[in-house]
Structure 1
Amino acid sequence: MFELMNFVQKPAYKGYKAYEYLEEGKDYPKIEWAQWDWAGRHVVELEPDQEAMVQEILKKHPYISLHDHPTFYPKDMSSIDHIYDSMRQGRAVCGYEALSYSNIDCIFDNMMDGVNIISSPGGWKWIDIIHDLGMRLCDLAHQDFLIQCKTVDDIFAAKKAGKIAWVPCIEGAAPIENEVDRIDILYGLGVRQLGVTYSESNALGNGMKEDHDGGLTMFGKQCVERMNKVGMLIDVSHCGQQTAYDAVMYSKKPIIMSHVGAKGVWDIKRMAGDDLIKAIGSKGGVVGIESAPHTTMSKTKMTHDLDSVMEHFEYVKNLIGIDHVGFGVDCLYGDHVGVHHAFAAALSTAETANTSYEEVPFVWGLENPTEASWNIIRWLVKHNYSEEDIGKVIGGNAIRVLREVWA
Structure 2
Amino acid sequence: MHKIKVAFIPSLMLALSACGATGEPEAAPQKTAAELAYISDETPIPKSRLDAAIAPLFDDPAMAETRALLVMYRGRVIAERYGEGYDEDTRFISWSMAKSFTGALIGFLVADGRLVLDDPAPVPAWQRPGDPRGDITLRHLLHMSSGLDHTEGPEEDGKTVFEADTNRMLFMDGAQDTAAYAEARPMEAKPGEKFEYSSATSIILADIITRTLTESTDPLVRRDVTLRFIRGRLLEPLGMDGTYPEFDQNGTFLGGSFVHATARDYATFGEFLRHNGAKKGAQHLPVSWVRFMKKSSPNDPAYGGHIWLNNQRPEGRNTVLFPDNGPDTIFAALGHLGQQIVVSPEQQLTVVRLGKTQDDVLAPMRAQIGKIMALFPIRG
TM range, normalised to the smaller chain? under 0.3
TM-score by length of 2: 0.27
TM-score by length of 1: 0.25
